[in-house]
Amino acid sequence: MNHYAAIDIGTNSVLLLVAQRDAGGVFQPILERAEITRLGRGVDRTHRLSERGIEDTLQVLASYVGQARALGVQKWVVSATSAARDAENGEEFLSRARERAGVGVRIISGDLEAQLVYSAVVVDFGKRFPNQTLVVIDIGGGSTEFIYGRAGAAREISFRRSYDVGSVRLTERYFNTDPIRDQDRVRVYSELGKTFSELPPPGPSVVIGVAGTVTTLFAVQNRIEPYDPAKVHGGKLTLEEVRSLANQLCGIPLEERMRLPGLLPKRADVICAGALILETALEKLGAADCVISDRGLRWGLLLEHFGPTSDASP
């Protein structure tokens, strides 16, 4: 039986998905892993990937490839997103990744990232919300994507946009005290308000939040420790819960945040900015809540590359 692997190298974390097709042709996960390596540390300021970020990421990437090969994976797709897109030495990272891990890494555009995330969401939620408008928010470390589409048609996208605001980027730009100062939160709200001001009103819709910030906020809200995708995927956060979480997280010291159930210590420094992004996004969309998706870009990559007629490899 063929096994397939998708690896998503983001600004903050690296995610692995190994899957196989069931009898109905649907991908079923065999192995999922997530490690925070902070590839994009300092990129907003220096426009370069740091040596530490590169090394930490390559170490995890090589480990993932080894785990996947042990499961019999021979077909791969590996992508890098915001940090690698923005960095002057992104090509150097790609070269070192192939040398170190033996797989090719593709830097994808913000628009393609949005499209792939939406494709993954529609597969999971299209039947749950038939004939409804879906608004997908993908909050990453370096960028945030918005995608509007119609349930039931993975390619029927009416709006998609990638904005250079993410949890790592905004943390490095605005937060340098512990705990976070009120005036710095106000500055972040102001930037986000301006950045998201051009979002078109989606009308009646279902908002779906994707990626680590959103899943982490849900895990903290519901004290899910250790993290369990089955308890997170398909859950719901209200705007009031997000607002309360943002106030709580920004109001306590980093050391205290690191001890919260449901919050990985390595994500504790950037979760505040992530919460403010989600809060502002829901407000701008006029949404009272959002559904949580644990299946983001890595699932979209799998669908794009290994659909019925695809046969991608390194």
Q: 93: domain CATH number?
A: 3.30.420.40
199: which DSSP letter?
P
Same domain for 178 and 50: no
pTM summary value: 0.92
How many domains, in total, are found in the chain? 2
Same domain for 288 and 147: yes
Indicate if the pLDDT at residue 310 is higher than 60.
no
Mean pLDDT over each residue of the chain, to the nearest integer:
92
What is the strand order of the sheet 144-150 is part of? 157-163, 144-150, 133-139, 206-210, 289-293, 236-238
The string of pLDDT tens digits covering residues 223-239 is 999 999 999 999 999 99
What would the mean pLDDT of 165-173 be, rounded to a whole number?
95
Q: Is residue 314 very low, low, confident or very high in pLDDT (cuts 50, 70, 90)?
A: very low
Same domain for 94 and 239: no
| Residue 131 exposure: Cα atoms within 13 Å on the Cβ side | 0
- Domain presence at residue 183: yes
What confidence score (pLDDT) does residue 74 get? Answer: 85
What does the alpha-carbon distance between residue 296 and residue 21 come to, in Å, rounded to a whole number? 18
Same domain for 115 and 48: no
The string of pLDDT tens digits covering residues 77-104 is 999 998 899 899 999 999 999 999 999 9
Same domain for 227 and 123: yes
As a residue count, the chain comes to: 314
What would the mean pLDDT of 186-204 be, rounded to a whole number?
95
Same domain for 134 and 200: yes
Q: Is residue 1 very low, low, confident or very high in pLDDT (cuts 50, 70, 90)?
A: low
| 206 neighbors 133 (Cβ within 8 angstroms) | yes
Reference 103, options 61, 40, 71, 72; nearest CA is 61
Same domain for 117 and 70: no
The string of pLDDT tens digits covering residues 252-281 is 999 999 999 999 999 999 999 999 999 999
Same domain for 121 and 65: no
- Domain presence at residue 281: yes
Same domain for 129 and 103: no
- Domain presence at residue 175: yes
Domain that holds residue 139: 110-296
DSSP string spanning 85-97?
Answer: HH-TTHHHHHHHH
Reference 210, options 135, 157, 106; nearest CA is 135
Same domain for 193 and 88: no
Same domain for 136 and 257: yes
Q: Is residue 110 very low, low, confident or very high in pLDDT (cuts 50, 70, 90)?
A: confident
Q: 258: domain CATH number?
A: 3.30.420.150
Same domain for 237 and 157: yes
Indicate if the pLDDT at residue 311 is higher than 50.
no
Under 8 Å CB-to-CB from 302, ≥6 apart: which residues?
A: 4, 6, 17, 19, 27, 77
Q: In the chain, what percentage of residues exceed pLDDT 90?
A: 82
Residue 236 three-state SS: strand
What does the alpha-carbon distance between residue 130 and residue 218 come to, in Å, rounded to a whole number? 24
Indicate if the pLDDT at residue 313 is higher than 70.
no
Helices (H), the chain: 43-46, 51-70, 82-86, 90-101, 110-125, 167-174, 182-195, 212-221, 229-232, 239-251, 254-257, 271-285, 297-305
What would the mean pLDDT of 270-295 be, rounded to a whole number?
97
What does the alpha-carbon distance between residue 254 and residue 103 come to, in Å, rounded to a whole number? 36
The string of pLDDT tens digits covering residues 12-68 is 999 999 999 888 788 999 999 999 999 999 998 999 999 999 999 999 999 999 999
Indicate if the pLDDT at residue 221 is higher than 60.
yes
- Domain presence at residue 277: yes
- Domain presence at residue 312: no
| 204 neighbors 214 (Cβ within 8 angstroms) | no
Q: Is residue 8 very low, low, confident or very high in pLDDT (cuts 50, 70, 90)?
A: very high
- Domain presence at residue 311: no
- Domain presence at residue 129: yes
What confidence score (pLDDT) does residue 312 get? Answer: 42
- Domain presence at residue 82: yes
